[in-house]
A and B are shown apart, each in its own frame.
Chain A
Amino acid sequence: MEKIIEIENLTKSYGNGRGIQDINLDIVRGDIFGFLGPNGAGKTTAMKIMTGLIRPDRGDVKIFGHSVTEEYELAMEKVGCLIEIAESYAYLSAFDNLKQLARYYPEVDHQRIEEVLELTGMSKYKHEKPKKFSLGMKQRLGLSAAILSRPQVVILDEPLNGLDVEGMIDIRRMIHHLAEQEQTTFFISSHLIHDVELTCNRIGVIYNGKMLNVESTQTILNNYATLENYFVSEVERNGRVSSCAR
């Protein structure tokens, strides 16, 4: 299987003692990888390093064999991402926001912009400015930006934040559609266990900055009643569940 993302000994510490320690992980083509962990576990830190927003203290991330720290442009060429909150320029319309990004990809034209806006249900708001958008609409626009260039890898940090049930179903359907039709590989972080269970085909659990385990969703569900049971068991096995949680 072709390795798309290689994470090697990734370490980043913050002054408050949080961060990530020696994370090793390989993502192969066709994965819809769920990066599962509670708030503050280190999911966003790892994803920020993967997308070049912060530098690691140690280790590296390679995307399609290109180091994010050394060959950023090459590494990000086929990557689309949405990190933390979907940001947009408040003074530009939804369409103009995507037009800004389209300039970095010669193959993306106005028709493609219309297409992704349609796909994320934002077509009717394309001439409106994001300052008037709800959180869910901003998130949909962020997702449009992430898939605009027909990326082969999409990195999404908490993509369902702010979305209503209908929105969650739409986005989940879109992820499955892209994975099946365009063989897009997904790396999705979430603290919503049920959502990860329904969306992802491989799951990695991160807790207190350390990777606990990586397993296929099918194997997990064969051995445990729910993903939640697996998560609790993994955390307990590593002796990290607080006494009150038990």
Chain B
Amino acid sequence: MAVFQAALVNEIEKLYKKKKALVAVLLSLAVIVIGQLAIVGVRSGFGLRGAGSVEFPMLVLSVVVNTVLPLFTALVTIDSFSGEYSQNSMRITLTRPVSRFKIFTAKITAIVLFILAMLLLLLIFSMVVGFMFNTNSATWDSLGRTVFSYLVSLLPMAVLALGIVLLANLFKSGISVFFISILAFIVFKVLGVLFSQYSSLFMTTQLDWYNLFLVNSFPLGKIMRQFMIMLGSGIMLFTAGFYLFDKKEF
């Protein structure tokens, strides 16, 4: 466990010291500010309501889970794998007394923690901005649902990251992985619209699964089905990614 902890702390330090993670955070916060300014503009210019204090964080979530969050998850994941392959810096860790399984798991845990930190930061910032600019009163129930929606969004984002990890271990160049990831994302989105009856199988549709928790009737069966699909695909992607990582020659 101590070895895994060391590997995890190292991965987190590398993420933190690289400028990319900081840029991702700043750009995500910029999205919130731009979004809020747009709402203020719509309200004062056209007299439309826009979004209320608790509705604003939900509006932000619906935008970021389909845009900036997958984008930054892809960038950080590719950097953690393909980036280290191309710079040969993976050897630094691989030649230490730590197994490849622990290195692989530590890398993925660090990426998941990055996504969680991004989600929490977006939640807090969007709530603060929402309360500052929108005076509508919020209930504890709606507040709780908002927080829960942000937290459950971690699962589909983690599965997406595992998909990118697999691609990073399949293809040599980080740029190829990035473009294939974007292409796959768009293809899944289109397929989800064209074959809506099978949409729950697509990774990109699952990004919106937090909506299931907002329905008053609480569709437990559907939530469980989605959860199992994500868990199953997550396990398969992790196993396939690790298999390739373990076989890799450096």
How many angstroms from the CA of A177 to the CA of B38 in the assembled complex? Answer: 69
User: A76, B9: Cβ atoms under 8 Å?
Assistant: no
Q: Which residues of A contact B249 (CB under 8 A)?
A: 48, 53-55
Q: Which residues of B contact A53 (CB under 8 A)?
A: 91, 94-95, 249-250
Nearest 4 pairs of A and B residues by beta carbon: A103-B6, A76-B97, A54-B249, A53-B250
- B-contact bits for A51-93, CB 8 A (1 contact / 0 none): 1111100000000000000001110110101010101111110
Nearest Cβ on chain A to B238's Cβ, whole angstroms: 20
Q: Which of B12-20, B185-193, B201-209, B217-225 sits within the interface? A: B12-20
- A-contact bits for B209-235, CB 8 A (1 contact / 0 none): 000000000000000000000000000
- Given A92-B17, A103-B6, check contact A76 B96 (CB 8 Å): yes
User: B13, A83: Cβ atoms under 8 Å?
Assistant: no
- Given A53-B249, A55-B249, A91-B17, check contact A103 B97 (CB 8 Å): no
How many angstroms from the CA of A55 to the CA of B250 in the assembled complex? Answer: 10
User: B92, A104: Cβ atoms under 8 Å?
Assistant: no
Nearest neighbor of A102 in chain B, beta-carbon distance = B6
- Given A48-B250, A53-B250, A54-B249, check contact A89 B95 (CB 8 Å): no
Is A145 in the interface zone, CB < 8 Å from B? yes
Interface of B (DSSP majority class): helix
User: A76, B95: Cβ atoms under 8 Å?
Assistant: yes
How many angstroms from the CA of A226 to the CA of B10 in the assembled complex? Answer: 47
User: A100, B91: Cβ atoms under 8 Å?
Assistant: no
How many angstroms from the CA of A53 to the CA of B95 in the assembled complex? Answer: 7
What are 29 inter-chain pairs, A to B, with CB distance below 8 A? A48-B249, A48-B250, A53-B94, A53-B249, A54-B249, A72-B97, A72-B99, A73-B3, A76-B95, A76-B97, A77-B97, A81-B95, A87-B92, A88-B89, A88-B92, A89-B14, A91-B18, A91-B19, A92-B17, A100-B92, A101-B92, A103-B9, A104-B3, A104-B7, A104-B96, A104-B97, A104-B98, A106-B2, A145-B92
User: A73, B92: Cβ atoms under 8 Å?
Assistant: no
Interface residues on B, range: 20 to 34
- A-contact bits for B62-105, CB 8 A (1 contact / 0 none): 00000000000000000000000001110110111111100000
User: B97, A73: Cβ atoms under 8 Å?
Assistant: yes
Q: Which residues of A contact B13 (CB under 8 A)?
A: 96, 100
Q: Which residues of A contact B10 (CB under 8 A)?
A: 100, 103
Q: Which residues of A contact B89 (CB under 8 A)?
A: 87-89
Residues of B with Cβ closer than 8 Å to A?
2-3, 6-7, 9-10, 13-14, 17-19, 87-89, 91-92, 94-100, 247, 249-250
Tally A residues with Cβ within 8 Å of B.
29
Nearest Cβ on chain A to B10's Cβ, whole angstroms: 5
Q: Which residues of B contact A103 (CB under 8 A)?
A: 6, 9-10
How many angstroms from the CA of A153 to the CA of B7 in the assembled complex? Answer: 22
Nearest neighbor of A76 in chain B, beta-carbon distance = B97
Q: Which residues of A contact B92 (CB under 8 A)?
A: 87-89, 97, 100-101, 145
Other than the given A55-B249, A101-B92, A104-B3, 11 more pairs (CB < 8 A) read: A53-B94, A54-B250, A55-B247, A79-B97, A83-B91, A83-B95, A87-B88, A90-B87, A92-B14, A100-B92, A104-B97
Nearest neighbor of A55 in chain B, beta-carbon distance = B249
Nearest Cβ on chain B to A149's Cβ, whole angstroms: 9
Q: Which residues of A contact B88 (CB under 8 A)?
A: 85, 87
How many angstroms from the CA of A72 to the CA of B2 in the assembled complex? Answer: 16
How many angstroms from the CA of A91 to the CA of B9 in the assembled complex? Answer: 16
How many angstroms from the CA of A191 to the CA of B26 in the assembled complex? Answer: 50
Nearest Cβ on chain A to B174's Cβ, whole angstroms: 16
A52 interface neighbour in B3, B6, B95, Cβ under 8 Å: B95
Nearest neighbor of A97 in chain B, beta-carbon distance = B92
User: B91, A104: Cβ atoms under 8 Å?
Assistant: no
User: A101, B96: Cβ atoms under 8 Å?
Assistant: yes
Nearest Cβ on chain A to B16's Cβ, whole angstroms: 10
Q: Which residues of A contact B250 (CB under 8 A)?
A: 48, 53-54
How many angstroms from the CA of A104 to the CA of B103 in the assembled complex? Answer: 12
Nearest Cβ on chain A to B23's Cβ, whole angstroms: 13
Q: Which residues of B contact A83 (CB under 8 A)?
A: 91, 95
How many angstroms from the CA of A54 to the CA of B94 in the assembled complex? Answer: 11
How many angstroms from the CA of A46 to the CA of B96 in the assembled complex? Answer: 17
Nearest Cβ on chain A to B94's Cβ, whole angstroms: 6
User: B94, A52: Cβ atoms under 8 Å?
Assistant: yes
Q: Which residues of B contact A81 (CB under 8 A)?
A: 95
Nearest neighbor of B10 in chain A, beta-carbon distance = A100
Nearest Cβ on chain A to B66's Cβ, whole angstroms: 30
How many angstroms from the CA of A79 to the CA of B96 in the assembled complex? Answer: 8
